[in-house]
A and B are shown apart, each in its own frame.
Chain A
Amino acid sequence: MSERTIHLDYLARVEGEGALKVRVHDGAVEDVELAIWEPPRFFEALLRGRACREAPDITARICGICPVAYQMSACHAVERALGLTVTGPLRDLRRLLYCGEWIESHALHIYLLHAPDFLGYPDAIHLAKDHPEAVATGLALKKAGNAIVAQLGGREIHPVNVRVGGFYCAPSRDELAPLVPVLEAAFESAERTAHFAADLPFPKVEEDYEFVALRGPEEYPMNEGEVVSSRGLRIPQERYDEEFEEVQVPYSHALQSRRRGGGPYLVGPLARYALNRDRLLPRTQRLVADLGLEPVVRNPYRSILVRSVEVAYACEEALRLIRAYTPPAAAWVEPPEGFAGGIGRALTEAPRGILYHRYDIAPDGGIREAKIVAPTSQNQSRIEEDVRHVVTAQIDRPEAELAEACERAIRNHDPCISCATHFLKLEVDRG
Chain B
Amino acid sequence: MHEETLFRDLRAKLVEVAEIEHAPRIARVEIWLGALSHVTEDHLRSEWSELVKGTPAEGSALTVVVSEEPSDPRARSLVMRSVAVATEGKAA
Contact = CB atoms under 8 A, between A and B. Distances in A.
A16 B5 CA distance: 7
Contact of A37 (B5, B27, B28): B5
Interface stretch (A2-10, A77-85, A388-396): A2-10
Interface string A1-30: 111111111111111110000000000000
Interface residues of B, number: 34
Interface string B63-86: 000000000001001111111111
Given A4-B91, A16-B8, A38-B2, A11 B82 contact: no
Contact of B80 (A12, A17, A37, A39): A12
Contact of B5 (A4, A6, A14): A14
Nearest to B77: A11
Nearest to A15: B9
Given A13-B6, A14-B9, A38-B4, A1 B88 contact: yes
Interface residues of A, number: 22
Nearest to B37: A12
A51 interface: no
A205 interface: no
Contacts of B87: 1-4
A41 B91 contact: no
A420 interface: yes
B78 A4 contact: no
A10 B88 contact: no
Contacts of B4: 37-39
A15 B85 contact: no
B9 A3 contact: no
Contact of A15 (B5, B80, B88): B5
A6 B83 contact: yes
B13 interface: yes
A5 B81 CA distance: 10
Contact of B21 (A6, A13, A14, A420): A6
Nearest to B8: A16
A12 B78 contact: yes
B77 A8 contact: no
Interface in B24-65: 25, 27-28
Given A2-B90, A11-B77, A38 B83 contact: no
A13 B3 CA distance: 10
B15 interface: no
A38 B77 contact: no
Given A1-B88, A2-B89, A16-B8, A7 B81 contact: yes
Given A1-B86, A37-B4, 6 more contacts: A1-B88, A2-B86, A4-B91, A5-B82, A17-B2, A38-B1
